[in-house]
């Protein structure tokens, strides 16, 4: 089965269709993240109602709990989660970056010390592939090496070399014909290394290609430059997946640079902290101005939260720490992101993406660069701390 059909382009922006055994996905597409088999606070019906067509789950975490064999015996991730749509699993490579204090990278594998009980786990390229075959996602990723944004050229080059060696081992271990194995382009912020990685991967003929190693601390300008340089190196008739990117402004800018697929925890994570997307940017629902607001969080929003409840009620839920707050905020943010993808696709099909792009930039104000990078650093630090102290 071909993984992708390119329908129409408008500049470098693309509208296409991703093909999987569990159904087709119109692109551009955003994948909500079900790290441990669940998009936090939502069930599969909620996901369908907000417009999700494909979700992502995390191989490393599902391997640790409940275990690949349990998931396999219960129908794979689709049966286990009761999600009947397309799914993608990552390989554990990002955990090799984010859990640096709990892992050792050797020539042959990433060796993790479990954040749950301290036990040791050996993720080789073959093992990461076999785990994903057991989990049964429609699209799987090879084990790769992701390096920090400030890595020097020698470090980034070594990561490309190892990623290239490991992807060959992943291909050899991959046996399921009903799964698409994508390649992952690495290379940090060095154009020649990105080209080296892309040239090697495209010579092997993968059904799709991911751009990895971005949104790891670099500036937005540097990320956009790297994406803009990398996408023309990839086949036009294959899907292009930018890993770990999900803020609205980044989605629009990277669709403009030829990306088809995205995933990120950002929309759901900030929702649980009371930060909600609106057309003009982000608002904090905990702010006093929402205390008596007898109107939805955003007029005209078609999500369940805005169609049903006042901003005052959502404000109250957060102030009183009611669990419903997490669900309503997450529904709103995911619907905002997925509607954004739908609007961009329609603009591409209509040949009006440039106008859409400009209008978005005129109305949407993103957090300033210093604030964004500090938030990212705090999130990565908190992630590492939570993994080292949980259990």
Note the pLDDT tens digit of each residue in 316-372: 999 999 999 999 999 999 999 999 999 999 999 999 999 999 999 999 999 977 665
The class of domain 4-265 in CATH terms is: alpha beta
Query: Do the Cβ atoms of 329 and 272 come closer than 8 Å?
Result: yes
Q: How many C-alpha atoms does 191 have within 13 Å on its Cβ side?
A: 8
Q: What are phi and psi of 92, to 5 degrees?
A: 105, -5
Residues annotated as catalytic are 90, 263
The encoded tokens of residue 163 equal 């990623």
What does the domain layout of the chain look like in residue ranges? 4-265, 271-369
Segments of the chain with pLDDT less than 50:
388-391
Q: How many residues does the chain have?
A: 391
Q: Tell me, what's the pLDDT at 376? A: 58
The encoded tokens of residue 113 equal 């010390």
Terminal CA-CA length for the chain: 42
Q: Tell me, what's the pLDDT at 2? A: 86
**What pTM does this model have?**
0.94
Q: Containing H/E element for 299?
A: none
Strand order in the sheet with 139-140: 33-34, 55-58, 87-90, 139-140, 180-181
Degrees, nearest 5: CA angle 207-208-211: 155
Q: Which of 359, 309, 357 is nearest to 332 (CA)?
A: 309
Q: What are phi and psi of 339, to 5 degrees?
A: -65, -40
Query: Do the Cβ atoms of 269 and 26 come closer than 8 Å?
Result: no
3-state secondary structure of 102: helix
Query: Do the Cβ atoms of 199 and 155 come closer than 8 Å?
Result: no
Strand order in the sheet with 4-10: 4-10, 13-20, 23-27
Q: Note the Cα 328 to chain centre separation in Å.
A: 21
Q: Tell me, what's the pLDDT at 25? A: 98
Strands 103-105 and 110-113: antiparallel
């Amino acid at each position: 089965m071909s993984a992708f059909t390119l329908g129409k382009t408008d500049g470098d922006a693309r509208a296409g269709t991703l093909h999987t055994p569990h159904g087709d996905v119109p692109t551009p597409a955003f994948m909500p993240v079900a790290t441990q088999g669940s998009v936090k606070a939502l069930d599969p019906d909620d996901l369908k109602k907000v417009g999700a067509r494909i979700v992502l789950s995390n191989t490393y975490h599902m391997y640790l709990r409940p275990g690949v064999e349990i998931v396999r015996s219960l129908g794979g991730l689709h049966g286990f989660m009761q999600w009947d749509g397309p799914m993608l699993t990552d390989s554990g490579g990002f955990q090799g970056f984010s859990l640096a204090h709990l892992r050792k990278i050797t020539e042959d594998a990433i060796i993790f010390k479990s954040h749950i009980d301290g036990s040791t786990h050996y993720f080789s390229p073959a093992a990461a592939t076999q785990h994903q075959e057991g989990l049964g996602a429609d699209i799987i990723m090879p084990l790769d090496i992701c390096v920090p944004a400030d890595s020097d050229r020698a470090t980034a080059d070594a990561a490309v070399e190892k990623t290239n060696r490991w992807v060959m081992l992943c291909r050899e271990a991959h046996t399921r014909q009903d799964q698409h194995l994508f390649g992952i382009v690495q290379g940090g912020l060095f154009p020649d290394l990105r080209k080296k990685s892309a040239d090697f991967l495209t010579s092997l003929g993968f059904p799709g290609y991911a751009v990895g190693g971005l949104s790891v601390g670099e500036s937005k300008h540097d990320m956009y430059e790297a994406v803009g340089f990398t996408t023309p190196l990839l086949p036009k008739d294959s899907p292009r997946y930018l890993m770990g990117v999900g803020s609205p402004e980044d989605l629009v800018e990277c669709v403009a640079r030829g990306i088809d697929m995205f995933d990120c925890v950002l929309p759901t994570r900030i929702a649980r902290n009371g930060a909600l997307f609106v057309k003009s940017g982000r608002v904090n629902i905990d702010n006093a101005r929402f205390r008596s607001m007898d109107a939805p969080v955003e007029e005209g929003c078609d999500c369940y939260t805005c169609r049903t409840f006042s901003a005052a009620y959502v404000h109250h839920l957060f102030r009183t720490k009611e669990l419903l707050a997490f669900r309503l905020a997450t529904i709103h943010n995911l619907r905002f992101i997925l509607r954004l993808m739908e609007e961009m696709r329609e603009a591409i099909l209509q040949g009006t993406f440039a106008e859409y792009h400009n209008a978005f930039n005129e109305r949407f104000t993103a957090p300033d660069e210093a604030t964004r990078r500090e938030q990212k650093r705090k999130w990565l630090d908190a992630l590492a701390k939570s993994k080292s102290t949980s259990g």
